[in-house]
Structure 1
Amino acid sequence: MVGLLALLGGFLSLPAPPAVADSTYLCTGYAGCANAGYSHDGYRANRNTMYWRMYAGHNCTNYAAYRIVRSGLPNTRPWSGNGNASNWGVAMKSITDATPTVGAIAWWKANVPGAGSSGHVAYVEQVVSSTEIVISEDSWGGDFHWRRITKSGRGWPSGFIHFNDRVLAPTAPPTVVGTPKIGVTLTARQGTWKPAGSYAYQWSAGGAPIAGATKATYTPTAAVLRKALSVTVTATKKGYQPGKAVASTAAVAPGTMANTVRPVITGTPQLDEVLSVSLGTWQPAPVTKSVQWYADGVAIPGATAWTLPLTQDLVDKRVVARVAARATAYNAGAVMSLPTEPVLAGTIREVTPYTLTGTPAYGGALQVVPGTVEPADATVVHTWLRDGVPVPGVTGPVYPLRAEDVGRRISVRLDMTRRSFRSLSRTIPLASMVTTKPTMRVVAEGRVRKAVVKVRMRAPGVTPFSGRVTLRIGSRAQVVRFVNGAARVVVPDLRPGVKWVRVAYEGTTVVKATKAKVKVRVRKR
C-alpha cells in the first residue's frame, strides 16, 4: 500500500489541507463569492476535471493548476515528481521569487503559518503593494475563498511562482506621428493597452538608444541623419509584468531650411547707386549662405556678392535677390526678396527755376514762366491749386482768376517726368490772396435842411458784401454801415445850398479801397 501511494505521488498530488494564515476573508464558496463580485473564473463547472494530474474538486493544487492552464499554458505538469503544494516552489525554483505579481502562484512551504503539512498554493488576484495581496484559493476539505493577506501578520507566502504572470500587452500597437526629418518633431502614441498603465519611452536610431530621448516627442538631429528611428513604449502597472512594444519609422531625411524673415533690399534703385540685401532670418542658423541677383527675372552674370552696383544695363529693370542658406543635415533653402522699383537713370533737375507772374486780382491772370530742366525733354504738367486743392479743368501754364478765387491762395504744382528718371515735383505759391476791386454808386436827394444819401456797393467774389463807409458833407463826417451792399442815411441840420457828398471805403486785405462823390442841393423850405 505504501508503495502504491509512492507511485501515485509521481502522477497525482496529495490533497493539501486548508490554508490558515493571518488574513481577512473577503468571501466564501463559489456562489457566495460570485454574489459578492469575486470570480472563480469558471472553476465551479470544471472542478471535477484534474489539471496537471492534481486531485479534482476542492483542492488548492487543482485550482491553481486550472488557473495557470486558463492563462494559456498546456494542461501538462511542467515538472516530474511530487505534485504536493509544498513541492511546487522547490520543483520550479528557477521561476520562484519573493515578488508578488498578478497571475503568479502564491506558494507556502509545508508546516509554515498559513499552510499544513502538504504546503499550500493560491492564485494572486491583486497586488495592493509589496506587503499586501489579494488571493483566490480552494482547499482540500474546505471551500473556495478570496482572502486579503498582509506581510505584517503571520502567513505571508514563502514565495511566488511566475508560471505565466499577467503581462501588460497592447491591443492596438504604438505609432509614430510625423515625418522622420531633421528638425521635425515626432510624437509617439502609446497605443491601447489592457489594462491601461503608465508609459515610458526610449527612442533609438539604427537600433541604438539615443541618450536623453525618453519623452513622447523627439526631434531628430544631424546625428541620426539617414538612420531608421524606433520608439520602445514600456507599459507598467502595479502587480503586472511590464509590457513593451515598438514603433518604427523610415530613415531620417535631411531637414528643410525655414525662412522666417524675408531678405530685404536696401539702397536707391538708380544708376550708379549700390543696392544691398540682408540675409533674412532662418531656422536653423545657416552654416553657409549665398546670393544671386536678378534683373527682370534673369540672373545677372557674376552678381553673387551681397551688394550690387547699378550699371547702365539695369536701367528700367526691376532687381530682385535670391538668397540661399544651408545648415548641416539640412537641404538648402532659398527665398526671393521683394523686387525694387525699376532702376532709374537719374533724377530730373531744375536748372533754372520756374516762376509765377501776374497780378493776383479778380479778372486778371497768372502765368508760369518756364525755367530749364535736365533732361531738357522732360514733360511738365501744370496743376493749379486753390487753397491747396486742385482746380478742375485748368491744366495749362496760364490761369485766369475768377470770382471763386477771391480771398483764396492760388499756387501751381509742376510735375516733371521722363522715362527712366525719378520725377520732380515743385509747388510755386502766390505771396498773397487774390483780391477784388469793388464798385460804388452814390445817390443823394436834397430835402429841407437835410439830405438823404443812398450807397450801393458790389465786389465780385464777395457775397454777401457788408462793411462800413465814411460819408462826408462839408465839415460833417459820419461812419455808415452797409449790409448786403446797401446803405441809406439821412443827414439833418444842413444849411441850404449845393454841397458835395463824399463817400469813401477803406478796403480790406481782399477788397480794394474805393470812393465816390456827388452834389446835392439842400432846400431852404
Structure 2
Amino acid sequence: MLVPLAALVSAAGLLLATAGPADAASTFTTQAPRISGAVQVGSKITAIFPTWKPMPTAKGYRWLRDGSTISGATKSTYTPTAQDRGHRLFLTIIGAKSGYSQATRTKDLGIVATGAAPKATIGPKLSGSATAGGTLTTTSGTWNTSGLSVRYQWLRNGSIVKDQTKRTYPVSSADYGATLASRVIVSKSGYADGSARSAVTGKIGRPAAAFSGNGVFAVGSKIKPGTYFSSNTRGCYWERLSGASGDFEDVIENDFGSGQRMIRVGNDDRYVSFSDCGSWYPIASAGPRLAKIPADGVYKVGQQVGPGSWRTSFTDGCYWETLSSASGSIDVVIANDYLDGRGSTTVDISSDVYAFSTSGCGTWSKVG
C-alpha cells in the first residue's frame, strides 16, 4: 500500500520536497521493520527502521490493530493498551526521498499478550492484636503501577481462610496455635493479577484472662457485662446477684457443673459470685472448633461446636441442653433430654443455638 507523501508528512510530522513525476521516480530497495520490546500490554515497543537503499530522508510509522490504523499511533514507539490485548498488532514503516517513489513495509507482530503482573515495591503490613478476640488490619502495599483494583485474602498456616476478604480480620479461637498473614491481590484491565503477602504473625494464643478467683465481685470496672467462659473445672458454682446481702433473694440466676462453664453477666447485675471456677475469658476467644466434644461442659455453638448432628454413647445416664444464652435462666433452655442407664443418642444442633451443655454423656462425635 503506497501512502501519499502528504499523508506521510501529516503522520510523521516531517517536511520533504515533493518528488518528481512517478514515471521518473526511482524505487527503494527495502527491508521489513524490526522491533525491540515485548508485544504485550504495558510494554513499550520500539520500531527499528532497517537499512534501505538508499536510506529515506523522511521516515514514518503506523501501528495497526487487526489491520486497522490505531488513531494517533504514528511514532517510532508504541505501548499496547488493554484494548489491544488478544488482537493482532502490525507495524508499517514508510520511507520517502526526493526522486524516489514512497515505499512502505509492514510486519505482523503477532497477538498482543496480557501485560506483566504489577509488582509490590512495598509489601502489605499487619497491625492490630494477634490474639483471639482481637482484630488484625492489613495495608494494601505500594505497587509499581497505578489504576489498580485491590482485593484481600487471609491465610491461616498458609491456607486461605474462607469468606475473609476485608482489610480487617477478626482473630478467633479457630486461629489458636496457627500463624496468620494477609495476601493482597491487585488487578488492572489487560494485565495479569499481581499479589503480595505480608509477614506472618507468631502463633496465635489465648488472650489474658478477663478475671479469675473465688468470691463476690462488683460488676463494673473489673468484671464488665458480657459473656465469658471458664477453663475446665471439676465443679464450678457461680451466681449473678442483685445485691451482696447474702439473702437468697439477691440471686438472679446460678449454675453448677463440671468442665467448661459459661456465664452471661447482665447490664443490671450488681455482683457475681464464683467458687472453684478458675479463670474466665471473653466468649469471642472460645475455641477452637472441636472435631469431638470430649467431656462435660457448656460449649459455644459456631466457635467450638459446629451446627449439625452429634452422636454419643454413654454408660450411666446422659443429660444435654441446647441454650439460647448463657444467663443461667431456665427460660434460655431451647431443648433438653435425660436418658438413664446405658445407651446412645443423637442431637441435631442448629446454627441459631447459642450454646450446647452436656453432662455424663461421654464423647460426642459429629455425624452430619
Report which structure shows greater RCO (CA 8 Å, sep ≥6). Answer: 2
Q: Give the TM-score, by structure 2 length.
A: 0.47
Q: Give the TM-score, by structure 1 length.
A: 0.34
